[in-house]
Structure 1
């Protein structure tokens, strides 16, 4: 119902929407959390013919890391044998240096990115568990400086990075600062739905299905109430990767019944737009569906 255009800046998103050049934060709070994030990140990189390096928590045995990647398996094993999938550590990355410095780490990441390109891959993506800070007895403030001054690794270069922070180990103020320092913030697991409210806008990221349906309805209801005086609401679903038919009907029904709104604009990826259009009966005269995409 409207032409495709670029989506709004990244912000909070599911791991499936990471693109080359993204620098992402993800937090976790237990030993089993985040398995689906690193697995999806790794598999996506392999599918895109990128080289993938996983720097897991130093306390994890290599066999356990493979289990987190849903290994062993023929495809992952082959990727490992040909060097496309690499398990490593920050200690090994910065070798022979014995102590962490941002400059040494930046240098090695740039070298590994160039190496991936020379090997015929489209780029490099890394998953870095930040427990390396304790393993190398690094200064947390120096690490924070690295994180907030690393944009040169990503600008104009085919490099993507997830930094995973254990909320049990890092202080709340460090987690808060690092959450803000990263251009992208990931949902902690697959299947989650994240909602944000701002003036006349509801932003939804993740997956809207039977498990998150009530959360979706609550977010839309709040957005409609907050924007009643303005008589227009933007529903930004540009970071949504799945919308069930039931949730699509919920959105359309709420839009059709909102006599207080002259315009409800839904910004969403083409796949979500198709679901909404198929579910629509054409009675919502105040509804505009606008396709957006990340580039």
Structure 2
């Protein structure tokens, strides 16, 4: 994830922590090293004391990159990955279902680490996850990292989180397809419609467009209606294929998708 609003960081961190605790995982936080520990604890414990209880029983730990790589003073990918493997094994030995970490990447300027070395780690860490009950969020403060680094890291990670619940993200594929992520509610109707218009305009040469809705958590009637209307008007296209789940397909069908010959829905089962 990336952020330039501290509240976004807190929201994602606390949600990630609480989900891990609820699933019986061990959670280790590597917060912004310039933040006072008291502030981090106050944020975690806000609205409930479950996190305090988790700390007491060793399920939730606060740490730092300096502590993780100790006794080494200089960061190396091998040292960090090796320690995280050890912590994952320790979590299993302690009876937890897995390990998850939240790593605020401001440890990089704190340790005066080489950004290129950090980027190498981020793009060569697959073995850390293979066959292991381990997950992590790497949080990049956009006020501290350059655009090139942020763009490279966005592409390197298998998932890039939305900053807030209720957001809508549009992703254009190399084949001209368009994928929507997040929530296409009524408030998002204009950006949803604009993204579809641009995708249709850019795919007239191929005369077909694939629209992927499978990563939407919510599809409003307003956005579904806009999709059907634009497909009906897309005279330059032979096919507008919509990949969707069963609920989305039913919504489109009830709103008249079957009356648009060039519009075809393909149901996709979401992975568990």
TM-score tier, shorter chain, comes to: 0.7 to 0.9
User: Under a length normalisation based on structure 2, what TM-score does the superposition of the two structures give?
Assistant: 0.86
Tell me how far 1:291 sits from its aligned partner: 1.6
**1:218-233 mapped onto 2 (5 Å cutoff):** 218-233=194-209
Question: Whose RCO is larger (CA < 8 A, sep 6+)?
Answer: 1
Count of paired positions = 270
Unaligned segments of structure 2, at least 5 residues? none
Taking a change above 3 Å as real, the CA distance of residues 46 and 251 of structure 1, as seen in their structure-2 partners, is farther
Q: State the SS of the aligned residue for 2:92.
A: helix
Superposed CA offset, 1:133-183 (max 9, x none): 222232223222222221110122221111111122123333333233323
Distance 1:70 1:248 in 2: 40
Superposed CA offset, 1:224-258 (max 9, x none): 22233433221012322222232223223333444
Query: Which of 188, 192, 212 is residue 216 of structure 1 equivalent to?
Result: 192
Distance 2:249 2:18 in 1: 26
Query: Which of 121, 129, 145 is residue 120 of structure 2 equivalent to?
Result: 145
Q: Is 1:289 aligned with 2:262? A: no
Higher CA-based Rg? 2
2:76 corresponds in structure 1 to: 101
Which shows bigger deviation, 61-70 or 165-174? 61-70
Unaligned segments of structure 1, at least 5 residues? 1-25
Question: Which structure shows the bigger proportion of residues in helix conformation?
Answer: 2
Taking a change above 3 Å as real, the CA distance of residues 216 and 102 of structure 1, as seen in their structure-2 partners, is same
2:34 corresponds in structure 1 to: 59
Which shows bigger deviation, 84-93 or 54-63? 84-93
User: Under a length normalisation based on structure 1, what TM-score does the superposition of the two structures give?
Assistant: 0.80
Distance 1:279 1:112 in 2: 52
Question: Which structure shows the bigger proportion of residues in strand conformation?
Answer: 1
Q: Is the 8 A contact 1:267 1:292 kept in 2?
A: no
Q: State the SS of the aligned residue for 2:90.
A: helix
Taking a change above 3 Å as real, the CA distance of residues 276 and 113 of structure 1, as seen in their structure-2 partners, is farther
Q: State the SS of the aligned residue for 2:80.
A: helix
Q: State the SS of the aligned residue for 1:157.
A: coil
Tell me how far 1:124 sits from its aligned partner: 1.5
Distance 1:225 1:291 in 2: 26
| C-alpha RMSD of the superposition | 2.5
2:170 corresponds in structure 1 to: 195
